[in-house]
């Protein structure tokens, strides 16, 4: 069963690579990356409510989002999380990085058809991912809030997105098509140091070794 799922996710990652960005997914229930040498914004030190422009250790957030208390729809390990859409009455916010980068990870929670993650470089769209692009091959093990068990009709997963063949980006936009639902995420993550490229030193996501993970290490090495 695991081999079949690994193969399905490999095909999905290969399909997503046409514009230079691929993704891997952590094991069901994992809400942070297993990649070495990263730094994350957990939102746990911020006040709840509307988020104005905010300078984080990982980049600059625009206004438009809301910091929410944990509930059935979001909050890694029942912590504060960031959302847009129904919670904020706006449809998007952005995260700008100080430099071009080739890796971004996040806990994507309660994924629904209105959620979309968009990667930009110098104002140009590099690639976008809708919920159907990243969740469709995941099994029922990803269904429901991994901490509380609630909301079993939607899936929760931590995704690692990485550029290949020199693909980089300097902005991520979190977009929700309308305000009938929310786009809930947590633990936004970037690389802090060069990822080791020696065999055995790069921890794969504890789930499936999707194609291109080695490319992440090589791309990160070139970038940093």
The DSSP line for 183-198 is: EEEEEEEEE-SPPP-S
pLDDT of residue 204: 46
Give the CATH number for residue 127: 2.60.120
What is the span of the domain harbouring residue 93?
A: 2-223
pLDDT of residue 18: 52
**pLDDT tens per residue, range 137-172:** 999 999 999 999 999 999 999 999 999 999 999 999
Task: State the pLDDT at residue 15.
Answer: 43
Looking at residue 84, its pLDDT comes to 98
CA distances from 27 to 24, 33, 60, 156 (A): 10, 10, 29, 10
Total count of domains within the chain: 1
Residue 103 has pLDDT above 50, yes or no: yes
What pLDDT shows up at residue 192?
87
What is the pTM for the complete model shown? 0.80
pLDDT exceeds 90 at position 218 = no
Average model confidence (pLDDT) across the chain: 84
* Cα 221 from chain centre: 21
Q: What percent of the chain has pLDDT over 90?
A: 76
SS (H, E, C) 83-133: EEECCCCECEEEEEEEEEECEEEEEEEEECCCEEEEEEECCEEEEEEEHHH
pLDDT tens per residue across span 167-200: 999 999 999 999 999 999 999 999 986 444 333 3
Of the two residues 115 and 3, the one the predictor is more confident about is 115
pLDDT at 57: 97
The pLDDT tens digits for 34-77 are 999 999 999 999 999 999 999 999 999 999 999 999 999 999 99
């Amino acid at each position: 069963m695991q081999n079949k799922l690994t193969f399905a996710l490999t095909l999905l990652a290969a399909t997503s690579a046409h514009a230079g960005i691929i993704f891997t997914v952590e094991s069901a229930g994992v809400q942070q990356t297993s990649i070495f040498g990263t730094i994350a914004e957990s939102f746990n030190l911020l006040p709840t409510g509307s988020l104005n422009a905010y300078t984080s250790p990982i980049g600059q957030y625009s206004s438009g989002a809301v910091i929410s208390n944990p509930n059935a729809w979001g909050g890694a390990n029942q912590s504060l999380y960031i959302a847009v859409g129904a919670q904020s009455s706006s449809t998007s916010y952005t995260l700008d990085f100080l430099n071009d980068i080739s890796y971004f990870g996040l806990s994507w929670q309660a994924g629904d058809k209105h959620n979309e993650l968009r990667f930009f470089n110098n104002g140009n769209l590099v690639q976008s991912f809708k919920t159907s692009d990243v969740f469709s091959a995941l099994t029922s093990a990803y269904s429901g809030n991994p901490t509380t068990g609630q909301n079993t009709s939607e899936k929760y997963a931590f995704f690692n997105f990485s550029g290949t063949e020199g693909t980089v980006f300097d902005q991520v936009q979190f977009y929700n098509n309308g305000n009938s639902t929310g786009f809930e995420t947590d633990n936004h993550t970037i690389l802090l140091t060069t990822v080791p490229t020696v065999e055995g030193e790069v921890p794969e996501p504890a789930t499936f070794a999707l194609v291109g993970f080695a490319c992440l290490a090589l791309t990160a090495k070139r970038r940093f």
